Amino acid sequence: MKSKKTGFTSIDEYISTFPPETQQKLEEIRATVKATFPAAKERISYQMPAFELEGMNFIDFSARKHHIGMYPIPEGNATFQKEVLKYKGEKRRL
């Protein structure tokens, strides 16, 4: 990471603070969410990239030095829960 900046105002700003390889992986996550849920709105929540549908966050993601985490919201949209199930897997290091 270039800095430990806080107060992000956009996902672009958040992603720009990481090395190119990490930026690419974060953009892949972002693109997948946008392609799967075109109506989702981007936002920053708790200083992490997040997506919302119908006014509620349904997934957040973040990067650290050795991992990227995705945090689906455990309750809410049944369609989303069905879609995200196929991505469930083991934790892996970058």
Average pLDDT, the chain: 84
Q: How would CATH label the architecture of 11-85?
A: Alpha-Beta Complex (3.90)
Q: What is the 3-state secondary structure (H, E, C) of the chain?
A: CCCCCCCCCCHHHHHCCCCHHHHHHHHHHHHHHHHHCCCCEEEEECCEEEEEECCEEEEEEEECCCCEEEEECCCCCHHHHHHHHCCCCCCCCC
pLDDT tens column, 35-61: 999 999 999 999 999 999 888 888 999
pLDDT over 90 (residue 9): yes
What pTM was estimated for this model as a whole?
0.73
Q: Among all chains, which residue has been given the structure tokens 């970058």?
A: 94
